[in-house]
Amino acid sequence: MSRSVFFILAVNVVMSAVIVASSYSWFSVWVGLELNTLSVLPILCGQFTPRGVESTVKYFLVQAFSAAMILNVALVQVWLTSSWSINCPLSQFSSVILTLSLSLKLGLFPCHYWFPDVIQGLSFLQGLLLSTWQKVAPFIILVSVSGVISVNVLVILGCLSVLAGGWGGLNQSQVRKIMAFSSISHLGWISSVVVYSERIGCAMFVVYVILSSTIFLINSKVGLYNLASLGRLMYCNNAVGMILILVVLSLGGLPPLTGFLNKFAGLSCLLSNSLLVPCVVLIVGSLLSLFFYLRISFNSVLSLFPQHSMMMFSWRSGGNILNEVNFYSGLLSVLSSFSILGLVLIPAIWGFY
C-alpha cells in the first residue's frame, strides 16, 4: 500500500470518528460508522496474508451487521417519533437492540466471541488500532445515548463482560489473545460506569487506551507473540522489560499504579449509586484478569522460561532488541511514567473525577 493511499485512509478513519462525535442525527451517525468501517478494512488487509484477510472479513461482517442494527433502530424511531434525533426517548425494544448493537461493536458480552479471533489474525499495530481507536466511535455513541437506553441491561452486560474477559484469558498463551480478553474486561468496566458518570467513564477509557497502547507498541517492536518469548525481553533489555512489567501491572489494577486509581474511581461511582452486587462481580472478574497479568509479569523476569531447548536461543535470530526499541524509547518513557503515577496524583485526579 502506498503512503498516499494509507494517508487518505487514515484521515478518513479519524474524520469518521469526528462525524460521529458531532452528529445529532441517527443517519449521520450511521454514515460515520460506515465510513469508519470501509476506511479501516484496506488497512487491516494491507499485508494480504491469508490469516489477515480472514480476520478482515470477520471484522467487516460484524461491523456491517451492527451498523445495520443501529440503522434499523433509527428507522423505528423515525416511524414512532418522526424524528432522527439521537436524544429522543427510545422504546424498550429499541433500547435493547441498540444496546446489543453497541455491545457487538465494542466487543462486550455476549457479542465478544469475534474479537479475540480477529486480533489474533492481525499484527500488533493493527490490533492496537482495533483495540483503541476503533472503539472511540461506538463509545461516543454509548455516551450520547446513556441517558435514554436501559441502564440495567448495560450494567449486566458490563459485569458479564468482565467475567468473560477474565475467564477467557486464563488459558491463553498468545499475547494478542490475552490483550483481546483484557480489552473485553476493561470495556466491561467502562460500560458499567459510564451510564452513571460520563466523566469517570471517559477518564477510564483514556487511561485504558494509553496503557493498552504501550503494551501493543512494545510487543510490536520486539516481536513478543507468546508467553514463552517474554523472558528474552528482560534478558536483552532490562529497561524495556521493567516498563512492560509496570504497564501490565497497572493495567491489572495493582496499587499504587494508575490502573488501580482507575478502577477505584469506578467502584466509588457504583457504590454511590447503591450497586453493591455489580461491584462484587467486577472485583471478582478483575481478580481473574489479574492472574494472567501477573503471569505475563512473572514470565517477563524469567530468562529461562520452561520451553524446548532449541527455543532458548531464538533471541539470537531476532536482532538486537535494544536497537529495535530505540525508536519508541521517548514515547515508551512517557507512557510508562504515566502508568506508575498512581496514588501520587490522587488529589489532582480525584478533583477531576
Q: Read out DSSP for 308-340?
A: -GGGGGGGGGG--HHHHTGGGHHHHHHHHHHHT
- The residue that leads in pLDDT, 251 or 329, is 251
Grid cell 520486539 in the structure block, residue: 222
3-state secondary structure 129-170: HHHCHHHHHHHHHHHHCCCCCCHHHHHHHHHHHHHHHHHHCC
- Please give the torsion angle defined by the CA atoms of residues 142, 248, 10 and 58, in that order, rounded to the nearest 10 degrees: -70
The pTM score is: 0.87
Question: HSE of 98 in the Cβ direction (CA atoms, 13 Å)?
Answer: 30
> Closest Cα to residue 262, out of 305, 185, 183, 200?
200
Check residue 189 and give its pLDDT. Answer: 93
Grid cell 523472558 in the structure block, residue: 231
Check residue 119 and give its pLDDT. Answer: 93
Report pLDDT digits (tens) over 229-269: 776 676 666 777 777 888 888 888 887 788 888 888 899 99
Grid cell 497497572 in the structure block, residue: 250
Report pLDDT digits (tens) over 268-323: 999 998 889 999 999 999 888 888 888 888 777 655 545 544 444 444 444 444 45
The answer to whether 322 touches 237, Cβ cutoff 8 Å, is: yes
Check residue 242 and give its pLDDT. Answer: 78
The set of cell numbers assigned to 104 is 457487538
In the predicted model, is pLDDT for residue 1 greater than 80? no
In the predicted model, is pLDDT for residue 194 greater than 70? yes
Report pLDDT digits (tens) over 154-178: 899 999 999 999 998 888 888 899 9
Check residue 310 and give its pLDDT. Answer: 43
In the predicted model, is pLDDT for residue 228 greater than 90? no
- Return d(Cα 59, Cα 43) in angstroms, integer: 12
- Provide the sign of the torsion angle of the four alpha carbons 189, 191, 195, 197, taken in this order: positive
Check residue 5 and give its pLDDT. Answer: 85
Of 59-68, 102-111, 154-163, 219-228, the least confident: 219-228
> Closest Cα to residue 38, out of 67, 18, 69?
67
- Return d(Cα 28, Cα 12) in angstroms, integer: 15
Check residue 319 and give its pLDDT. Answer: 46
Task: Please give the mean pLDDT across all residues of the chain.
Answer: 82
Check residue 172 and report its DSSP letter.
Answer: -
Report pLDDT digits (tens) over 39-76: 999 998 877 788 888 999 999 999 999 999 999 998 98
